[in-house]
Amino acid sequence: MAAYSCASPEDFLVETVRRIRSSDLEEALLLIPFSVACDVVRMLPALLERGDHTELLCRLAVFLLRVHHAPLVANRALLKQIIQIQAKAALKLAELRVRIQSSQYHIGVEYR
């Protein structure tokens, strides 16, 4: 963690995922064991709450939930985190959408 100047495991996760090329992200996520995927799902609500790297974290969440859907939903301990991920991702993406629309309005680009 010191090599990436990260103060917490959440910061380390974001920094590590951020450094993976976009085209290689899904392949990298397929290589992690299910136990690590569960740990990532546990961290995602707090990371989404922060609001930085929202698009990347949503992509990470969607892919992990798509690949590991049955075991994640069957795990009652993770169900609360999955519901939080859904709510926080929707909220943060709506905020991001409003910010983009506002920026487009101010520079004169028509939004459809």
Total domains, the chain: 1
Residue 1 belongs to a domain = no
pLDDT in tens, 43-101: 999 999 998 899 999 999 999 999 999 999 899 999 999 999 999 999 999 988 888 88
Structure tokens at 95: 């905020």
User: In terms of residue numbers, what domain contains 24?
Assistant: 9-107
Statement: the pTM of the whole predicted model exceeds 0.85: no
* pLDDT of res. 51: 85
Residue 112 belongs to a domain = no
Interatomic CA distance for residues 110 and 99, integer angstroms: 14
Contact in structure between 14 and 47 (CB atoms under 8 Å): yes
Structure tokens at 68: 């590991």
Structure tokens at 81: 């985190």
Interatomic CA distance for residues 42 and 28, integer angstroms: 19
Burial of 3 (0-12, 13-18, 19+ CB in 10 A): exposed
Residue 3 belongs to a domain = no
Interatomic CA distance for residues 92 and 73, integer angstroms: 23
Residue 4 belongs to a domain = no
